[in-house]
A and B are shown apart, each in its own frame.
Chain A
Amino acid sequence: MSLSDAEQLNEAVKPPSKLFKNLTAKIAAIPMILTALVIFIGCTIWTIYHSFTKSRLLPSPDKWIGLDNYERLWSENRWIVSIENLAIYGICSLILSLVIGFCLAALLDRKIRFENTIRTIILYPFALSFVVTGLVWQWILNPELGLQNVVRNLGFENFTFDPINNADIVIFGILIAGIWQGSGFVMVLLLAGMRGIDEDIWKASRVEGIPTWKTYIFIVIPMMRPVFVTALVIISAGIIKVYDLVVAQTSGGPGIASEVPAKYVIDKMFQSQNLGLGFAASTMMLLSVLVVLIPWAYLEFGGKKNG
C-alpha cells in the first residue's frame, strides 16, 4: 500500500457524528433518563398540582381549590410544631454531627492504636436502620429502664433525665440518637479526606512549629472543602426526611411534641386520608430544600467558571 492510498483511506473516514458517539452507552442510559424524568420530575409536578385540589382518599384532579390547603396547613399547630422541631433538630444535628465527626476523624488520623476496632465501633450505628437506633435510644432514655435508673441506682436519687417523656425537651432525645448515628458516617467520610492529604504538608507545618490544631483549622480543613460539602449535603438530606427515627422512638409524642414534617406528610396521606393537605406539606418541604440548595449550587458551580 502506498502513502497516497493511506491518505485516501483517511479521507474516506469522516469524523463520526456526535449523536452516534458512544451509542451503546447512550442506549443503555435511556431507561435511567426516562425513569428520572417520569418519576422525579413527573411525580413532583403531579404532586404540586394535586396540592391545589380537594383530594381526600383518592387524587381528584378536577376539584381545584387554590391555596386552601396551604392556608389550612399553616394554621395548624401540629405543622408549626413540626417545622420548629425540624429547625432545632436540623441545626443542632448538622453542627454537632460535623463537629463530633471531625473531632473523631482527627483523633483517628493521629495514628492511634486499635484504629480499626475504634472505627468499627463508631461506624457501627451507621450500619443500623434508624428504626433500630430509635428503639435502642428509646430504651436508653426510658426513665424506668435506662440511663436515669442506672444513675439513680448509683446513689444519685434526685437525678432526672427523661427527655422522651418531657414535651419540652423530647426533640433533644431524638437529637442524641440522630447524632449517634450520623457522626460515625461523617467521621469516616472526613477521615478518608484527611488520609488523602499529603504527609509532607504535616511535616512542613511541624518544621514551622505550627501547632496541630492550627494546622487542622487553617490548612487541613480548607483543603478538605469538597469532602465537607459532600458530608453537608448528605446530612442535610437525611435531616429533612427524618421520619423513621421519630416513629420508632416517640411516635411523635408526648402529644405532638416531637412531630416532624415528614411524619406529618405520611400521616395526612395515609391516616387522615387527606391527600391534598399531605401534598401541600410535601411541596413546602420541597420548597425548603430548594431554598437551601439553589444558592449553594449557584455558589459551588456558578463560581467555577470565573474561578
Chain B
Amino acid sequence: MTNTNPSVEIKQLDLSFGKVEVLKNLNLEIARGEFLVLLGSSGCGKSTLLNCIAGLLDVTGGQIFINDKNVTWAEPSDRGIGMVFQSYALYPQMTVEGNMSFGLKNAGMAKDEIKRRVDKAAGILQLEPLLARKPSALSGGQRQRVAIGRALVRDVDVFLFDEPLSNLDAKLRTDLRVEIKRLHQQLQNTMIYVTHDQVEAMTLADRIAIMKDGIIQQLDDPNTIYAKPRNKYVADFIGSPAMNFFKGEIKDGSFSSPEVSMDLKGYETVDGNLPNTNAWLGIRPEHIQSGANTKGCSFVGDATIEIVDPMGSDTLVWASLAGQSIRVRTEGQSSLKVGETLKIGFNADKLSIFDTDTELRV
C-alpha cells in the first residue's frame, strides 16, 4: 500500500532486553484509517512492538513517527494513542464512569466536555446502564468494552489493542470482535491489533503482519496471506487445520515426491519461471478434492482414511497417502468410514511451492 501520509511509521526499529534482541531492524508503515493486525506465535515480539509504538518501552534503535511527528522519545500520553489491554487494566476502585473520565480530569479538561465525551463513548459501546457500576460487578465482555471506552474518550487517531479478546469465552469473543469491526468502520481510526487468533486476524484486518522472532515475515491483506503465503512459515501458520506439505523435487515443470507426482502447469510462480530445485509442495486441506470431484485434477491418488472429524458444516478427514498423513476437508456431513479408501486430487493453481533451502515461495 503506497500512502504518502502514513498514520504510523516505524523505521529500522531495534529493541533488546539486555542481550536478548527481540525486534530487529523492523520497518512498518500503517496508513491512515487502516486496521493492521500483528499476528504471530507466543513470544515473537508482538506485544513488545505494540509497547514500543505506545512508548511504554524505550527503543534501542530506530525511529517511530505518528501522524508525521517523530515520537520516538515522546511520553505515551503525548503520542495521540489509546490502548486496550488483555487484562482490561481497569481501575478497580472507580466506577465505569470514573474509569473513563479519570484521565481527562487529570488532564484538566472542562467538566461538560468530559461528560460529553463519556456519554458519547458510552452510547457507542452501549455502556449507559453500567456507568455507575464498579468493574468487579461487570462481566468480562463488559469490562473490555469499558476499557475500549476509556481509550475512546481520549479522542485519539491511533488505537492499540493487545489481545483484547483473549480472556473472553468463545461466544463473547465473536460478539466483541464484530463490535470492534463496527467501531472501526464508524470511527475510521487507525487501529493496530495484536492477536494470536487467526480468525480474529482474518476477519478484522485490512492487512496482517505475520511475525516470527521479531521479524515481519509477510505483510499483506488477509486473502493474499491465505492464498499466496510468502514463505513456508506463513503457509504453515495460517489456516486451520494446517497446510499439507510434500517434500520432493521440481524438474522441467513437474513435481515429484514419493507421495505426489504432478505436472505444475497452471501454478502461478512469483517471478514467472519455475526453477529446477528441491521443493516443498503445499496444498490446503480445503483445496483437496475427493470422490467424484477429482475428475480432471492434475494429481489424483488413493488415500486410506484414518480419522473422521465431523465439524458440522464440514468434515475433516485424516488420511494416509503413500504413508504420509494428510488432512482433507470435505463439504457437508459425509458418510466416510475409517479404513476405507478415499480418492483425492488437486490442481496446480491452488498450490504453494517453497524452495527447501530458502523456504521462500517460488
Chain A interface residues (CB < 8 Å from chain B): 198, 200-201, 203-211, 214, 218-219, 222-223
Q: How far is the CA of A203 from the CA of B86 in the complex (A)?
A: 12
Chain B interface residues (CB < 8 Å from chain A): 51, 54-56, 75-78, 81-83, 85-89, 91-93, 102-103, 106-107, 147, 150, 154
Min distance, Cβ A206 to any Cβ of chain B, angstroms: 5
List of 7 A-B pairs having minimum Cβ-Cβ separation, nearest first: A209-B77, A208-B103, A200-B89, A222-B93, A204-B89, A200-B85, A207-B76
Please give, as numbers and ranges, the residues of chain B lying within 8 Å of A214 by CB-CB distance.
Answer: 106
Asked if B106 and A210 sit within 8 Å, CB to CB, the answer is: yes
Please give, as numbers and ranges, the residues of chain A lying within 8 Å of B55 by CB-CB distance.
Answer: 206
- Chain A: CB-nearest residue to B104: A208
Asked if B102 and A207 sit within 8 Å, CB to CB, the answer is: no
Asked if B86 and A200 sit within 8 Å, CB to CB, the answer is: yes
Min distance, Cβ B134 to any Cβ of chain A, angstroms: 11
Give the interface SS of chain A, mostly helix, strand, loop or mixed.
Answer: helix
Q: How far is the CA of A207 from the CA of B103 in the complex (A)?
A: 9
Asked if B77 and A207 sit within 8 Å, CB to CB, the answer is: yes
Q: Known: A214-B106, A218-B102, A219-B93. Contact between A207 and B81, CB under 8 A?
A: yes
Q: How far is the CA of A206 from the CA of B79 in the complex (A)?
A: 11
Asked if B89 and A201 sit within 8 Å, CB to CB, the answer is: yes
Q: Known: A200-B85, A204-B83. Contact between A209 and B92, CB under 8 A?
A: no
Q: How far is the CA of A86 from the CA of B114 in the complex (A)?
A: 49
Please give, as numbers and ranges, the residues of chain B lying within 8 Å of A198 by CB-CB distance.
Answer: 87, 89
Q: Known: A223-B92, A223-B93. Contact between A209 and B87, CB under 8 A?
A: no
Min distance, Cβ A219 to any Cβ of chain B, angstroms: 5
- Chain B: CB-nearest residue to A222: B93
Please give, as numbers and ranges, the residues of chain B lying within 8 Å of A200 by CB-CB distance.
Answer: 85-89
- Chain A: CB-nearest residue to B54: A207
- Chain B: CB-nearest residue to A225: B93
Asked if B87 and A207 sit within 8 Å, CB to CB, the answer is: no
Q: How far is the CA of A206 from the CA of B77 in the complex (A)?
A: 7
Asked if B93 and A203 sit within 8 Å, CB to CB, the answer is: no
Min distance, Cβ A183 to any Cβ of chain B, angstroms: 25
Asked if A209 and B76 sit within 8 Å, CB to CB, the answer is: yes
Q: Known: A219-B91, A219-B93. Contact between A204 and B85, CB under 8 A?
A: yes
Contact of A209 among B51, B54, B103 (CB under 8 A): B103
Asked if B78 and A203 sit within 8 Å, CB to CB, the answer is: no
Asked if A210 and B103 sit within 8 Å, CB to CB, the answer is: yes
Q: How far is the CA of A222 from the CA of B93 in the complex (A)?
A: 6
